[in-house]
């Protein structure tokens, strides 16, 4: 997927949860991505989050460690 599209989608999720208390918002972003993004998208997200200067919303960055990792059975 184009990196810009993936960033846009992740940031849209963050925008949806922004009105919630901070910890709930972070958990909501992680839960949504874990449940609804296919393994290839999550893999790309993890790779992009490692790059300096990403344009991800802070909620996406903070959710990184709570997003379900990709394993070979996905």
Residue 71 inside a domain? The answer is: no
Q: What is the pLDDT of residues 18-51, one digit of tens each?
A: 999 999 999 999 999 999 999 999 999 999 999 9
Nearest Cα neighbor of 57 from 1, 2, 28 is 28
- Would you say residue 72 lies in a domain? no
The pLDDT of residue 47 is 96
Which residue blocks in the chain are alpha helix, DSSP H?
3-17, 22-36, 39-50, 58-63
> Domain for residue 36, yes or no?
yes
The tokens describing 12, both together, are: 């849209």
Evaluate whether residue 19 is within a structural domain. Answer: yes
Cα 1 from chain centre: 14
Say what angle helices 22-36 and 39-50 make with each other, to 10 degrees. 130
Average pLDDT over residues 43-64: 95
Does residue 38 lie in a domain region? yes
Provide the domain limits for residue 14: 3-66
Is residue 73 situated within a structural domain? no
Residue 52 forms part of a structural domain: yes
Residue with token string 């839960």: 31
The reply to whether 74 falls in a domain is: no
Count structural domains, the chain: 1
């Amino acid at each position: 997927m184009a990196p810009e599209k993936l960033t846009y989608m992740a940031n849209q999720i963050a925008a949806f949860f922004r009105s919630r208390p901070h910890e709930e918002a972070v958990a909501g972003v992680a839960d949504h991505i874990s449940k609804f993004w296919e393994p290839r998208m999550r893999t790309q997200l993890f790779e992009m989050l490692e790059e300096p200067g990403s344009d991800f919303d802070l909620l996406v960055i903070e959710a990184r460690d709570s997003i379900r990792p990709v394993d070979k059975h996905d």
